[in-house]
Amino acid sequence: MNVSGRTAAAIAASIERSLYAGEKASGDALPTVRELALTLGVGPATVSAAYKLLRARGLTSGAGRRGTRVAAGLVAPASVVQPAVLAPVAQSPLPPGAVDLATGNPDPALLAPIGSAMQLIEPEGRLYGAEPEHPALLAFACSEFEADGVPGQSIAVLSGALDGIERVLRAHLRPGDRVVVEDPSFPGIFDLVTASGFITVPCALDDDGPLPHDFTAALRHGCGAAIVTPRAQNPTGAAISAARADQLRRVLRDFPRTVLVENDCAGPVAGVAMHTLVEPTRQHWAVVRSTSKFLGPDLRVAVMAGDPVTVARVRGRQALGSRWVSHILQKLALMLWSDPSSGRRLARAGEIYGHRRSALLAALRARGVQAAGRSGFNVWVPVLDEATVLRVMADRGWAVTAGERFRLQTGPAIRLTVSALQPRDADRLARDLADALQPTATPGIA
């Protein structure tokens, strides 16, 4: 990679041009701070500042001791010499004929029929100045949140879970503030936090959610916010149990100024009940519930409950940018989510996902393979060598995901998305994975 410059801004611009030219691929490592400083004849602090600029632009992500890497899913368009931004692209193509356990999608056969619902929507000619949220969707979301023990008096409608999480963090934090994140966790969370100028503080978890001791230790770093997943945690499938929720709430009482953000990413198809950490005395909090996993990723609608100040700040900032989420989308989400037949469909989908996940976990246990996955779509399997396991599984006809992008301090693992895995295939998958792990045994997940 051709890098030049004597100042942080010049070095960052040079690296950015190299990325535009395709000299580094998504996920590739950049030179270490020390290496690049020696090459350019500048101080390490200058290179560190350049890397910080790149992270703030969303072009790179910090990977702790593994250094700085090109942000996942970002490449330079081949037909443009100097584009304004890097363009997001899809994941690498699946091997021909491979069973897709990698892309993290819900089973299309279990999603609500959007096409027929769209024909029933009567679009209105909405103009500027109208209320941003559809009142019926707010009322329904309020009832859904309160059924899960989450206060629903203040609600905003947003364009997906990450949109909501980003707005909450920006409403309360400043660049340089620390944020507790689960480790492992969804890569989008890591990238969002670092690109926003915040510092990630990892917290280990098990099947029942964040470990109280680790959660306490992370919060003691002076963290301004904590992002937790109450159920269907990606990638581990963890779900906060009732007992663990009591423990974590007690921990949070000692940190009243920390903003609590709950990412309820799977909602009604998670397969387990939600145990929120929100308490009436919590000063600032938000619970974001995306519809992507149960209504479809392209719908791009999420609802967020929160304390009145947080919701007001989020809505105020939204009014300066995107203004509102299309009422056509809001009505469509309401129709698909609230219809009694849809409710039965969602309940049935949750049961099917749970059956598929349980079938694989049982097959893995029968072959002595350690795995985690108490809820949601994903199963997390610790391994010694991710690359070897991915290669062997691809040879056997399975496309799986390396755990590297999901983890900060956690050991190697792979993620299996089992949303469309038929139970009859679970034993074959478990057999092939057990073969891929031989002859060595696997370590723990946290």
pLDDT at 339: 84
Dist CA 33 CA 298 (whole Å): 39
Residue 90: predicted pLDDT:
41
Residue 95 has pLDDT above 90, yes or no: no
Q: What confidence tier does 75 reach under pLDDT thresholds 50, 70, 90? A: very low
pLDDT of residue 63 exceeding 70, the answer is: no
The pLDDT of 415-437, averaged and rounded, is 95
Give yes or no for residue 284 having a pLDDT over 90: yes
Supply the DSSP string of 98-117, one letter for each residue: -EE-SS-PPPGGGS--HHHH
Residue 81 pLDDT grade (very low, low, confident, very high; cuts 50, 70, 90): very low
**For the whole model, what pTM was predicted?**
0.82
Q: Which domains does the chain have, with CATH numbers?
A: 8-88 (1.10.10.10), 99-109+342-437 (3.90.1150.10), 113-340 (3.40.640.10)
Lowest mean pLDDT among 62-76, 179-193, 398-412: 62-76
- Pull the structure tokens for residue 278: 């929100």
Model confidence over 336-353: pLDDT tens digits? 999 888 888 899 999 999
> How many C-alpha atoms does 76 have within 13 Å on its Cβ side?
18
On the question of pLDDT at 292 being above 80, the answer is yes
**Who wins on pLDDT, 358 or 75?**
358
Please state, in angstroms and rounded to a whole number, the distance separating the CA atoms of residues 218 and 202: 7
With bands split at pLDDT 50, 70 and 90, how would you rate the model's confidence at 383? very high
Give tens-digit pLDDT for 306-334.
Answer: 999 999 999 998 888 888 899 889 999 99
Per-residue pLDDT at 251 exceeds 60? yes
- Cα distances (angstroms) measured from residue 314 to each of 81, 104, 285, 381, 412: 37, 28, 12, 37, 37
